[in-house]
Structure formats: structure tokens, C-alpha cells
């Protein structure tokens, strides 16, 4: 009997060996391309720096300029992988886009509202949730099939929040059974979508923007009511490109934004300010590291984005704004931060949407503060590029901080950060936050899986080094 089974056993063994081989190979391959940050403890931040361009504004500048009539020049464009994914998507749909050059200048020959062409393959959007969610609305009705796909993290993120309203407007979109990407937008018999009155189920600028961008192609007036203020770059930029919007403040929190479909966009030059979300790491770093005095130049301080300033100031931070002006419809300022001993606070829930991308950095501030910081009303953090509540709590616990995650937030007791190895889970903002933590840790911090820092902040390591953070990068 054994004798008879031998050839089969050999076959199975070969298969097992082959499987093991592929597992090891793929682990080795992913290790090969992995990037680790090594942040040495101590130091302080000083000088004057300008962080790269705002990611949200960069995405929108490509989208609206591509659909406009005329030539747009964008300066200060973010040359990160996310905004470049949007740029390449429009190139793939036949738009002539030149740049970005070394100073971030991009020129775009707009093709008009109906001038996009069908791309050859699917649009590959990498890690970029903003590209995928906004394009779902914008591409819902162009008379061609198009599919949108992303990396492993983006393919796990919820997309029904955008496909539901756009399908209510008449679009045909296929998702996976879980409502995730790849998204397949089908051309429809109907040449126009129908307008809707939509109340956002959560405070999300991406969903709001998606519905408004679909509304450009709808018959009638599309209105979106948001439960709380969220970033309003889409509204500001649409108006900058000459599109009329009605914006009505319903109460302290809620607003209703309406637009009539069928209009056109007229090219207009755009100056992208430095990204307040990228500045946030430095604002926290300079606040927690004794002896710091750092100025961040030309930062976008749109009121729907300044939760990080409000929250840090409530924690006692020394933040002074100067040179305030408006560029292309967006307010900017220089921000000076000097170190102080922060104190723990209960973060007001109305600040959550205004600081939604900044909680990884704020968690580091909380870990260095005196007393307890409590975050609530932030369940959205669980569906960002990673589960940011879990990622921060796990990392902070490794670094000796007494903290816990809750369904919608975190409770962090300030303490002494130790040294350790933490995992960014491939999330750019987790990686940069833990790099800043080293300014106050007792020993060095090693952060794994940092390649995605390039999605929003190319040159982070060099810029951080230039103002005093002892961080280096290890490529395997």
C-alpha cells in the first residue's frame, strides 16, 4: 500500500516544497522593497521649512483643470504618489498634462466637460482614496466603460459610500460583493444623470465631492447636506473655475451645497499651498521637543482643516500665525511653533472632521502630554489607509505608553516613550508620526513598512533631517 502511495506522496511533497518556496520568495521580495525608518532619540526642531503641496488641493486641481476650457498652470503641485496617480489617470484619458517640473509646476490643456476619452486599461490609483472616491462621481457619465483599481489597502476600503449616491443618480457601477474596489463604471444608455438631494451619512469631504462632481453631469440641481463642516476645497475650486454654487448654512454644524448640472469650467491658475496635514507632524514634533523653534511656511489654513491648530492650542501649544493672505481662494500663513509642556484634553468632537488626518500625529502629542487625552467620535479613523486607532494604540503600547483604543477613538495617558520597533501598517501618516515620537523617546524607534510615505510626503526624511530630527531610511 505504502509503495503504491509513494508517487502521490512525492507529488504532494513537491507541491508543499513549491508552496513554501513561493511563500519565502514573496516574503523576501516584499522585504526587498520594504523601507524602514530609524529615528534616534532626542534633538529638537528649528529653522524655516516648507512642506510639499496640499494633497487634497493637488488632486482637485488636476480634475477641474482637465475638464475646463483653456490652459491652467498649477504651481506647488504635490509630487506624491497619490496626486500623481490622479495626474496619470487624466493623461490616460487623453488630457495633455505637462510636468510636474522640479518646482512642482504643471500645465494642463483642458478638454472641456465632455472631452475625456476612454482609457486603454483600468485606472490604477494605488493607495489614493481621494482619487478613487472623487473619480467615481466625476466619471459616472462619460459614455464609456472605465474601471478604477487600487493597491491592497485601497481595495479593502469602503466604496459603497460613493457608489450608492452616484447609482441613485442613475450611474451603473459594479463593485466586489463587499462593496469595495475594483469599481467598474459602465456606460449607460442615458446621456445624463439625474440630480439628487443627498444627506451625507457621515462627515466626509470625499463623499460630498463625489456627489457634487457627479452633479456637474446631472439634469437639475444636485444638493448635498453635510452633518458637520468638512474640507471645502472642491467648492472653493469649482467657484474659482467659474462654476456657480449655492451654499447655505443650516445651523452651527450642517451646511447644504447645491449646484445645477450642465455648466462649464473656465481654466484658472492655481497656487497649491503647503499641506497642513504634512505640517502637522512638524507642529507636533516642535511642540514636544524641548528647545524647538520652527516656522512652517505658506501653509494652507483653510478653516475646514485647522483642527490640528485648534487641538494643539487647547493642549497648551505655542503656535503663532503670521503673513496671513489668500492665494487662489485658499487662506495661507506661516506657522511658528515653539516647544512647551502640553497637557491632556478631551478633544471636542466638533474638531474631529477638521483634523481627521491628523490623529496619528495628535496621538504622539497626547503621549507626551501631562495627563489624559480622550478622543471620541472618530470611528472614521478605522477605515483610513489603515485602522489608525489600532495602529497608533499598538505602536504606543510597544513604546511603553498606557493607552487603549475604543470603538470611536482612543484614551491616551501621557508618559515616557521608550524605544522599540513599531509597524506603520503601510500607512504614511502612522510612519511619520512615530518618527516624530523619537524626539521625546528614551531610545531609538524603528518603524517598519514606510514606503507609502511617498504617497503624501516625498522627501520627508531629508526635510526632517534638515530641521533637526535624527531619522534615516533603510531600504531592503
* Residue 277: CB minimum distance to ligand S3P, A: 7
Burial class (CB in 10 A: 0-12, 13-18, 19+), 42: middle
Cα 462 → chain centroid: 21
From 202-210, 262-270, 318-326, 337-345, span contacting ligand S3P (CB under 6 A): 202-210
For residues 356 and 469, which CB has a smaller minimum distance to ligand S3P in the complex? 356
* Residue 72: CB minimum distance to ligand S3P, A: 19
* Residue 110: CB minimum distance to ligand S3P, A: 21
From 9-17, 198-206, 213-221, 261-269, span contacting ligand S3P (CB under 6 A): 198-206
CA distance 284 to 355: 13
The β-bridge relationship of strands 123-124 and 46-49 is: unpaired
For residues 44 and 428, which CB has a smaller minimum distance to ligand S3P in the complex? 428
Q: Of these, 142, 231, 298, 388, which contacts ligand S3P (CB under 6 A)? A: 231
Is residue 56 near ligand S3P by the rule CB under 6 A? yes
Asked, as a colleague might, if the bond just before 100 is cis with ω within 30 of 0, I would say yes
For residues 429 and 440, which CB has a smaller minimum distance to ligand S3P in the complex? 429
Is residue 95 near ligand S3P by the rule CB under 6 A? no
From 68-76, 174-182, 205-213, 410-418, span contacting ligand S3P (CB under 6 A): 205-213
Stretch 125-144 residues interacting with ligand S3P (CB under 6 A): 130
From 17-25, 92-100, 203-211, 267-275, span contacting ligand S3P (CB under 6 A): 203-211
Contact (Cβ atoms closer than 8 angstroms) between residue 109 and residue 71: yes
Q: Of these, 68, 131, 147, 206, which contacts ligand S3P (CB under 6 A)? A: 206
Question: What character string, x for contact with ligand S3P (CB under 6 A) and - otherwise, covers 241-280?
Answer: ----------------------------------------
Is residue 86 near ligand S3P by the rule CB under 6 A? no
Is residue 204 near ligand S3P by the rule CB under 6 A? yes
Q: Which residues are catalytic?
A: 357
For residues 401 and 451, which CB has a smaller minimum distance to ligand S3P in the complex? 451
Residue length of the chain: 476
Contact (Cβ atoms closer than 8 angstroms) between residue 354 and residue 304: yes
DSSP sequence for 425-471? TT-HHHHHHHHHHGGG-SS-EEEE--TTHHHH-TTHHHHHHHTT--E
Is residue 386 near ligand S3P by the rule CB under 6 A? no
Give the closest residue to 192 by CA, choosing from 208, 222, 170, 177: 170
For residues 43 and 229, which CB has a smaller minimum distance to ligand S3P in the complex? 229
Contacts of 18 (CB under 8 A, 6+ apart): none
Is residue 83 near ligand S3P by the rule CB under 6 A? no
Is residue 380 near ligand S3P by the rule CB under 6 A? yes
CA distance 61 to 68: 10
DSSP sequence for 50-108? -PPBPHHHHHHHHHHHHHSBSEEEEES---SHHHHHHHHHHHHTT-EEE---TT--EEE
Is residue 342 near ligand S3P by the rule CB under 6 A? no
From 39-47, 204-212, 237-245, 293-301, span contacting ligand S3P (CB under 6 A): 204-212
CA distance 424 to 282: 18
Q: Among all residues, whose Cβ is closest to ligand S3P?
A: 56
Give the closest residue to 333 by CA, choosing from 316, 352, 320: 320
For residues 276 and 288, which CB has a smaller minimum distance to ligand S3P in the complex? 276
CA distance 234 to 57: 8
Placement of cell 504651481 in the chain = 75
The β-bridge relationship of strands 293-300 and 318-327 is: unpaired
Q: Of these, 232, 235, 330, 357, which contacts ligand S3P (CB under 6 A)? A: 357
Which residue ranges make up the site for ligand S3P (CB under 6 A)?
Answer: 56, 130, 204-206, 209, 230-231, 356-357, 380
Amino acid at each position: 500500500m505504502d509503495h503504491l502511495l509513494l508517487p502521490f506522496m512525492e507529488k504532494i511533497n513537491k507541491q508543499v516544497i513549491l508552496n513554501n518556496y513561493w511563500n519565502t520568495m514573496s516574503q523576501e521580495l516584499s522585504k526587498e522593497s520594504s523601507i524602514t525608518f530609524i529615528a534616534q532619540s532626542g534633538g529638537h526642531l528649528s529653522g524655516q521649512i516648507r512642506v510639499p503641496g496640499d494633497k487634497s488641493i493637488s488632486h482637485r486641481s488636476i480634475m477641474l483643470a482637465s475638464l475646463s476650457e483653456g490652459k491652467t498652470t498649477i504651481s506647488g503641485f504635490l509630487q506624491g504618489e497619490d496626486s500623481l496617480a490622479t495626474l496619470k489617470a487624466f493623461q490616460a484619458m487623453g488630457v495633455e498634462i505637462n510636468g510636474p517640473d522640479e518646482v512642482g509646476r504643471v500645465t494642463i490643456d483642458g478638454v472641456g466637460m465632455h472631452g475625456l476619452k476612454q482609457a486603454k486599461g483600468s485606472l490604477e490609483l494605488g493607495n489614493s482614496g481621494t482619487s478613487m472616491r472623487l473619480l467615481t462621481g466625476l466619471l459616472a457619465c462619460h459614455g464609456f466603460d472605465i474601471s478604477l483599481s487600487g493597491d491592497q489597502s485601497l481595495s479593502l476600503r469602503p466604496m459603497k459610500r460613493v457608489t450608492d449616491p452616484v447609482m441613485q443618480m442613475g450611474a451603473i457601477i459594479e463593485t466586489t460583493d463587499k462593496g469595495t474596489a475594483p469599481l467598474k463604471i459602465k456606460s449607460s444608455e442615458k446621456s445624463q444623470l439625474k440630480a439628487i438631494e443627498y444627506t451625507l451619512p457621515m462627515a466626509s469631504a470625499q463623499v460630498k465631492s463625489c456627489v457634487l462632481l457627479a452633479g456637474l453631469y446631472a439634469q437639475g440641481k444636485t444638493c448635498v447636506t453635510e452633518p458637520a463642516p468638512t474640507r471645502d476645497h472642491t467648492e472653493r475650486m469649482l467657484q474659482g473655475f467659474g462654476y456657480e454654487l449655492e451654499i447655505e448654512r443650516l445651523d452651527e454644524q450642517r451646511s447644504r451645497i447645491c449646484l445645477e448640472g450642465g455648466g462649464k469650467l473656465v481654466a484658472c491658475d492655481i497656487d497649491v499651498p503647503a499641506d497642513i496635514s504634512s505640517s502637522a507632524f512638524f507642529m507636533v514634533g516642535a511642540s514636544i521637543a524641548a528647545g524647538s523653534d520652527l516656522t512652517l511656511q505658506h501653509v494652507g489654513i483653510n478653516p475646514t482643516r485647522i483642527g490640528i491648530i485648534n487641538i494643539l492650542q487647547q493642549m497648551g501649544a505655542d503656535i503663532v500665525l503670521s503673513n496671513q493672505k489668500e492665494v487662489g481662494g485658499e487662506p495661507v500663513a506661516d506657522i511658528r511653533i515653539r516647544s512647551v509642556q502640553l497637557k491632556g484634553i478631551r478633544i471636542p468632537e466638533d474638531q474631529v472632521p477638521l483634523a481627521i488626518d491628523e490623529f496619528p500625529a495628535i496621538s504622539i502629542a497626547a503621549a507626551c502630554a501631562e495627563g489624559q487625552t480622550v478622543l471620541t467620535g472618530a470611528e472614521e479613523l478605522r477605515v483610513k489607509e489603515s485602522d489608525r486607532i489600532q495602529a497608533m494604540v499598538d505602536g504606543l503600547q510597544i513604546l511603553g505608553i498606557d493607552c487603549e483604543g475604543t470603538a470611536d477613538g482612543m484614551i491616551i495617558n501621557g508618559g515616557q516613550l521608550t524605544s522599540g520597533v513599531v509597524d506603520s501598517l503601510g500607512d504614511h501618516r502612522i510612519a511619520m508620526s512615530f518618527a516624530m515620537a523619537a524626539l521625546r523617546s528614551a531610545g531609538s524607534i524603528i518603524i517598519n513598512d514606510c514606503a507609502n510615505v511617498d504617497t503624501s510626503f516625498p522627501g520627508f526624511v531629508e526635510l526632517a533631517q534638515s530641521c533637526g530630527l535624527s531619522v534615516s531610511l533603510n531600504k531592503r
